[in-house]
Homo-oligomer: A and B are copies of this chain.
Amino acid sequence: MASSDQDVTLLSFWASPFSMRAKLALLLKGIEHEDLPQDLGNKSKILLESNPVHKKVPVLIHKGKPIAESAIIVHYIDEVWPGTSPLLPKDAFLRAEHRFWTDFIDKKLLDCLMRFVHGNDKDAANEEFIANCVLLEGALTKLGSEQEGPFFGGASFSFLDVMLAPYAPGVVGVMGLKHASEEQCPRLHKFFEAVSEHPAAKGALPPVEKLKELIRNK
């Protein structure tokens, strides 16, 4: 476990991809923390008080101070606990690339997913999702050395790896969305395979069966 004076609490919902990111960063860095699972149908006082603007999970509370929004939480975790599993690269240009593709995931992949689930033209949304995966394949080829390992960070998880991990085929697949094929995105496939086998990701991403059950019971 990383340094001792933690006092870290994570308000989360296990099936939220944004919660998975925060949990994954905590596990990668071995930060001792308390989980406070949230009932999103009946929001708790602590959630409403710690994220009064968006009233959403995840919220990280560190020494009494709340931090909301998954990318901001992972930035914070990396800045406060830089030693173990550093996530953002040291080079400013590479940091910009990690932030650019995070923003891309949060705008484009999420938009396609939402339109697939709630919109009328599911085929178009799925097609666009795959086209965006192809762009991410290009980014992975550019940023992550294939010789070093399957991640954007090479041999180990980096910031962008944490941001993309919850878009694993198993997770988005439970909603019926078709992921890019191995032929379309060979590097991404290796990435998601490595994610699925990583101990921290196993702790942060729920089993596909559990997600399926949630959807069946909705």
Given A67-B93, A135-B53, the answer on whether A99 and B72 have CB atoms closer than 8 Å is: yes
With CB as the reference atom, state the residue of chain B lying closest to A95: B79
Q: Which of A79-133 contact B (CB under 8 A)?
A: 79-80, 92-93, 95-96, 99-100, 103-104
Name the one of B71, B93, B104 contacting A65, with C-beta atoms under 8 angstroms.
B93
Contact B53 A76 (CB under 8 A): no
Q: Is the CB of A72 within 8 A of B100?
A: yes
- The answer to whether A76 and B95 touch (CB under 8 A), given A53-B135, A135-B53, is yes
A-side interface residues toward B, CB under 8 Å?
Answer: 53, 62, 65, 67-69, 71-73, 75-76, 79-80, 92-93, 95-96, 99-100, 103-104, 135
CA distance A67 to B53 in the complex (A): 30
Instruction: With A67-B96, A67-B100, A76-B96 given, name 16 new contacts (CB 8 A).
Output: A53-B135, A62-B93, A65-B93, A67-B93, A68-B100, A69-B99, A69-B100, A71-B99, A72-B99, A72-B100, A72-B103, A73-B96, A75-B96, A76-B93, A79-B95, A80-B92
